[in-house]
Amino acid sequence: RMNELDKSKDYVMVCRSGGRSGQATQFLEDQGFNVTNMDGGMMNYEGETK
């Protein structure tokens, strides 16, 4: 579904622990997308910061 993404936008990849989203981040970066992996995934998420 990569063709549905816009290369002019920034994306954050998230999974449970950060491993799979890290692989997806690397793949999309290799394709020219601006992507950030959320380190630690949802297991480290503590909610929004203000």
15 is catalytic: yes
Please pick, among 4, 5, 12, 15, the residue that the annotation labels catalytic.
15
* 3-class DSSP assignment, residue 43: helix
Closest CA to 15 of 41, 47, 45, 46: 41
User: Catalytic amino acids?
Assistant: 15
